[in-house]
Amino acid sequence: MILMLLVFPYDTPVALKQARNWDGLTLIMTRMYKKDQVQSRIQAMGEENQKKETTTYKETFCDPVIR
C-alpha cells in the first residue's frame, strides 16, 4: 500500500498551492467547489497558512497541549 502511494503520487490543493501550480490548483478546486467559490476558497487557504507560519518557538514549547 505504501509503495502504491510512492508510485502514484496525488496532488492536494495545499501541495499545489505551495508548488505554485495555479492551473492544477484551479482544476482540482473546480471539481470540489462551484466556480464562483473557487477564488475565495484559494484565498482562505492562504490565510490559514499565514496563521500557521506566525507561530513562534515560545508558543510551540510553552503550549500546555504540547507539554
CA of 57: how far to CAs of 18, 30, 32, in Å? 23, 37, 35
Rounded CA Rg of the chain: 16
17 exposure class (CB count in 10 Å sphere: 0-12, 13-18, 19+): middle
pTM for the model stands at 0.54
User: Which residue numbers in the chain have pLDDT < 70?
Assistant: 1, 4-6, 8-9, 47-55, 66-67
8 Å CB contact between 29 and 13: yes
Record the cell numbers describing residue 64, joined without a space. Answer: 500546555
